[in-house]
């Protein structure tokens, strides 16, 4: 049977759409291009974001830690300065582990606190271009100037001398690292520093009465009574006790002397100048090192054999105590030969039971308690014992000075080095 196809059979309703409507629903070439462009832009943006994130992660990994900014002088323009030094990695990371900005920004330099970074122009302005009239003193590493910041704060600015041996650079790094890792009321407080180009400058709190040597070596005309001298002796002893025994890091100062003892308005002492300080291993009795310090204050084992320990500081402290009691330098070549070297002269008087002969005449006139002077004198002789192990630790010295311990040890004759042919100056 033949089937007859009906070519005119109707399409299902869903297929009977006018041709023009089908043409209208079909995407035009122009709209397709627009969609492709949108997808391309979005894809490119996503790729850029991913690249930016990757670059940011790499930058944070290899970039030195950033610095929180604080304002010290609003008048100064902000600029970036990087500290670059030929020092060991640990010192670099501790001291200049960040980007520094002028005027000033804080950066971590130790475990306990932060210090500020000062722009050179800020310090130049504060000291009136390092005017000689503002000179407070001058040491082996450079002059110290009085300054005043725009906020009215008084500061002491130590401008280090950078010589060919880079000793000033080393002292700068050591002092910043050391003094920002310790904190005690009898240690000078470092406010900040400057490493602007070739400049290496340390900024300290200003001490109204400057340094002890001006009162016991100089001619200021100001008399220090016995209670003030005891306050100074005891304060220095407590500062050294902290460095040797109580600090989280054992530190040997290496240059305890009158010019490094600073005095505030009430004559409370603070140990300063940590440029020669050494961090000392806990498991070692002494370090073998090259001599550095001031002749006349130096322990014999350190001066002759380079054996450095905290007992070297104790020896220097003993010489300092004698100077405070006598109000004279430890070495004075203008005096008769038997009196020129103070520890040697003090020992002779001790042997002959004439200790009070060495006391500052003005102190005797003002009135003093002899047993207190005798105790301080006895402590000084214990500190300058010939062998390091015979010198008492600073905690015991503090106990002796505060009458918390009885004086039972008899001192031995100290070792007297022949310094008469050498200058009493920085080595």
- Rounded-to-integer distance, Cα 401 and Cα 381, Å: 13
If one counts every other C-beta atom within 10 angstroms of the C-beta of residue 361, the result is 10
CB 72, CB 122: distance < 8 Å: yes
Does the annotation mark 255 as catalytic? Answer: yes
118 phi and psi, to 5 degrees? -110, 140
CB 156, CB 180: distance < 8 Å: no
- Rounded-to-integer distance, Cα 323 and Cα 342, Å: 8
CB 218, CB 225: distance < 8 Å: no
**CA 416 to each of CA 77, 179, 342, 380: distance values in angstroms, whole numbers, following the listed order:** 57, 33, 10, 15
Sequence-separated (6 or more) residues with CB below 8 Å from residue 158 = 141, 142, 143, 144, 201, 202, 203, 204
- Rounded-to-integer distance, Cα 343 and Cα 332, Å: 12
Sequence-separated (6 or more) residues with CB below 8 Å from residue 139 = 259, 273, 426
Encoding tokens for residue 163? 């010589």
If one counts every other C-beta atom within 10 angstroms of the C-beta of residue 335, the result is 14
Burial class (CB in 10 A: 0-12, 13-18, 19+), 231: middle
Rounded (10°) angle between helices 226-241 and 310-326: 170
Task: Name the catalytic one among 73, 196, 255, 360.
Answer: 255
CB 416, CB 341: distance < 8 Å: yes
Which residues have a catalytic role annotated? 255
């Amino acid at each position: 049977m033949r089937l007859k196809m009906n070519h005119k059979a109707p399409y299902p309703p869903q297929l009977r759409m006018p041709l023009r409507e089908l043409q209208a629903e079909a995407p035009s070439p122009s709209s397709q291009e627009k969609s492709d462009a949108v997808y391309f832009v979005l894809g490119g943006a996503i790729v850029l974001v991913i690249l930016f994130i990757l670059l940011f992660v790499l930058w944070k990994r290899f970039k030195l830690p950033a610095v929180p900014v604080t304002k010290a002088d609003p008048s100064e323009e902000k600029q970036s300065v990087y500290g670059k030094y030929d020092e060991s990695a640990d010192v670099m990371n501790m001291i200049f582990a960040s980007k520094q900005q002028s005027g000033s920004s804080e950066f971590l330099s130790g475990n306990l606190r932060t210090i500020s970074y000062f722009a050179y122009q800020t310090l130049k302005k504060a000291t009136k271009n390092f005017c000689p009239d503002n000179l407070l003193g001058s040491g082996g590493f450079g002059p110290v100037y009085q300054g005043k910041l725009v906020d009215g704060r008084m500061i002491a600015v130590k401008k280090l001398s950078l010589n060919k041996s880079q000793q000033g650079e080393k002292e700068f790094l050591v002092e910043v690292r050391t003094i920002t890792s310790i904190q005690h009321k009898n240690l000078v407080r470092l406010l900040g520093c400057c490493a602007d180009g070739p400049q290496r400058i340390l900024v300290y709190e200003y001490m109204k009465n400057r340094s002890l040597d001006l009162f016991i070596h100089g001619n200021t005309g100001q008399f220090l009574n016995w209670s003030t001298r005891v306050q100074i002796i005891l304060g220095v002893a407590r500062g050294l006790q902290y460095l040797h025994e109580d600090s989280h890091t054992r530190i040997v100062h290496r240059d305890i002397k009158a010019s490094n003892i600073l005095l505030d308005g009430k004559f409370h002492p603070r140990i300063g100048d940590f440029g020669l300080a050494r961090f000392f291993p806990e498991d070692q009795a002494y370090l073998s090192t090259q001599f550095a310090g001031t002749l006349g204050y130096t322990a014999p084992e350190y001066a002759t054999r380079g054996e450095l320990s905290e007992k070297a500081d104790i020896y220097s402290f003993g010489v300092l105590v004698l100077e405070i009691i006598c109000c004279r330098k430890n070495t004075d070549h203008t005096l008769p030969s038997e009196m020129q070297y103070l520890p040697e002269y003090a020992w002779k008087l001790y042997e002959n039971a004439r200790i009070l002969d060495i006391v500052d005449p003005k102190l005797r006139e003002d009135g003093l308690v002899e047993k207190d002077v005798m105790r301080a004198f006895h402590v000084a002789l214990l500190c300058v014992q010939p062998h390091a192990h015979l010198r008492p630790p600073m905690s015991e010295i503090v106990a002796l000075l505060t009458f918390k311990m009885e004086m039972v040890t008899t001192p031995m004759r100290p070792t007297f080095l022949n310094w008469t042919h050498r200058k009493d100056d920085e080595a």
